[in-house]
Structure 1
Amino acid sequence: MRRADRLFQIVQLIRGRRLTTAAFLAARLEVSERTVYRDVGQLQHQGVPIEGEAGVGYRLGRGFELPPLMFTQGEANALVAAARVAQAWLDAGLAGEVEGALGKILSVLPPTARASAESLALYAQEVGGLTPAEQNLLQAVREAAQARRKLRLGYLDLADLPSQRVVRPLGCFYWGKIWTLSAWCETRQDFRSFRIDRIRQWQVLDASFRDEAGKTLADMLRKVKGELAAKAARGNNGNSAG
């Protein structure tokens, strides 16, 4: 690690804790405590208001702010790539927020770094992405999950059998070209997943919901994990028997 990068990391580590010892900094940065003492002294000499002393601990004086440039070229490239891929598969609301966030990130880069990030040779075409109707639906169910509002769904399953459900939306999951809504289904009294592209009607209800034991997203994830583990165990037993 270059010394300039290490000095930046020292400031970041100190600002994130009430009191930071030289031993802690040395362990995190994989350098000696003597090096930490020397680097802290250099920062103080440059005007960074680090308070404290060797053997006791350090903290930053109030009001100190770092300059906004915090991204390496590789990090900026990665963010541009992630934004381009995500925008084709997000709802319109989040896609717009991604565009705004990316603009802020690029605005703090030096001109050469910004040009390099913007010319990244990785693109994601919207062909095959979500339709406008699917975008609207995804945004509606996502916002309902965040607001803890129940949904009434008209759903068409993989056998093309229609059903009406009232659900508690828990989260939206992306499976590579397919979004699903995971929910507690009050109609079936169990967890269910609904493909966004097979929801035919939807309505956000006035009724809200709170977490109840056995009906939360964490409960659902534990159930799925347990089912996968049981399936794997059955498979292993079958292989052993064979």
Structure 2
Amino acid sequence: MHKSERLFQLVNLLKGRRLAVTAKQLAERFEVSERTIYRDIETLQSSGIPVQGEAGIGYLISDHPLPPMMFSLDELTALLLGSKMVSAWTDPTLSNHAKSAIEKIEAVLPAQLKHHSEHSPYLVSSFKHDAQQQTFSETLRTAIESYQCVKLQYQDVNDNHSERTLEPLGLVYWGGKWTLIAFCQLRQDYREFRLDRMQSLTILSIPFSTNNTKNLTHYLALIRAKYANESDENPVSC
């Protein structure tokens, strides 16, 4: 393990603990010598991190403000991958925030981690919605966060047109298309609406609320149960 990554993990291990951790325990945890741990503690203390304790007793970091959160190599890989997905696949506002986050992360990466990031095996394609879908996405995110109903003009797969008043619950990306999960006031049930089939969308000044049987988590639980039942009823033969 590289020293910088060990220091990151050491901070995360020590901060907020009620009981001190001895150098011996830390040495066993990181598979290094106790002398290395003593040097690491000195490095952290000299950089302003409030490590308390001493040799033979143990160490902890009390509840004081710390520098920005430090991450392991795998954690940074996950954060960068997720940020690139948001940048490529969401509305303009979230996309810009994701790009800003990527720039901040990459600006402070040590050389070794920066090299790893630049040669990541994961590639996020620059898939883009058209301008109208991006507008719908941003409008729906606003409505979902503020618990406001929306009026939707929609064209289904059979080219049938309809107008619905919906309680928007969440946006789901199924690997090719964004879909709105909503509670339809006309049908009094969950319905799904693809963003690429929406014709127009307006936020209404009508608030709504969720409950145990009307929320995104409940919808997903119903979907999982449905597919589980279908799998049990139609086993695959080998």
TM range (shorter): 0.7 to 0.9
* Identity over aligned pairs, percent: 29
5+ residue gaps in structure 2?
Answer: none
Contact 1:156/1:163 (<8 A) preserved: yes
* Residues 85, 30 of structure 1: alpha-carbon distance in 2 compared, 3 angstrom cutoff: same
1:31 is matched by which residue type in structure 2?
E
State the partner residue of 1:144: 143
The answer for the alignment partner of 2:195 in structure 1 is 196
Match status 1:60 vs 2:61: yes
Distance 2:217 2:107 in 1: 38
Q: Determine if contact 2:8/2:71 at 8 Å carries over to the other structure.
A: no
Partners of 2:19 and 2:193 in 1: CA distance: 48
- CA distance in 1 between counterparts of 2:110 and 2:174 reads 36
1:162 aligns with: 161
Aligned match of 1:104: 104
What pairs with 1:23-172 in structure 2 (closer than 5 Å)? 26=25, 31=28, 41-46=38-43, 47=45, 48-52=49-53, 58-61=59-62, 63=64, 65-66=66-67, 70=71, 72=73, 83-109=83-109, 117=117, 122=123, 124-126=125-127, 129-172=128-171
CA contact (8 A) 1:80 1:118 kept: no
- From the superposition, tell whether residues 21 and 69 of structure 1 become closer, same or farther in structure 2 (CA, over 3 Å): closer
Q: 1:210 and 1:149 mapped to 2: Cα distance? A: 9
Q: 1:11 to 1:20 in 2, by over 3 A?
A: farther
TM-score (normalizing by structure 1) = 0.76
Question: TM-score when scaled to structure 2?
Answer: 0.77
Gaps of 5+ in 1: none
Structure 1 residue 107: Cα displacement: 1.9
Matches of 1:4 and 1:178, distance apart in 2: 40
Q: Would you say how many aligned residue pairs link Structure 1 and Structure 2?
A: 232
1:205 maps to: 204
- Tell me how far apart the structure 2 counterparts of residues 163 and 67 of structure 1 sit (CA, whole Å): 50
- Distance in 2, matches of 1:64 and 1:213, equals 38
SS at match of 1:22: coil
> Distance between the aligned counterparts of 2:141 and 2:156, measured in 1?
20
- Contact (CA 8 Å) 2:154, 2:162: kept in 1 or not? yes
Structure 2 contact 151–165 (Cα < 8 Å) conserved: yes
Residue identity matched to 2:140: V
Offset of residue 202 of structure 1: 1.2
Whether the aligned pair in 2 keeps the contact of 1:173 and 1:182 (CA below 8 Å) is yes
Matched letter for residue 9 of structure 1 = Q
Contact 1:156–1:199 (Cα < 8 Å) also in 2: yes
Q: Is the 8 A contact 2:84 2:98 kept in 1?
A: no
CA RMSD of aligned residues (A): 3.8
Q: Counterpart in 1 of 2:223?
A: 224
1:145/1:170 contact within 8 Å kept: yes
- Structure 2: distance between partners of 1:200 and 1:32: 58
Cα distance, 1:58 vs structure 2: 4.2
Correspondence for 1:214: 213
Residue 2 of structure 1 deviates from its aligned partner by 4.4
Structure 1 residues 178-234: Cα deviation after superposition (integer angstroms, max 9, x where no partner): 110001111111111100011112110111122223111111111111111111111
For 1:18 and 1:201, how far apart are their aligned partners in 2?
53
Q: 1:221 to 1:215 in 2, by over 3 A?
A: same
Quote how far apart the aligned CAs of 1:45 are: 3.6
Shift of residue 114, structure 1, vs aligned partner: 5.2
Residues 144 and 150 in structure 1, CA contact (< 8 A), matched pair in contact too:
yes
The superposition leaves residues 17-55 of structure 1 with CA deviations (integer Å, 9 ceiling, x where unpaired) of: 3424538x95xx792699696565444444253224689
Deviations, residues 61-116 of structure 1 (Å, cap 9, x unaligned): 454634777564x7666655554554332111111111211121222235786588
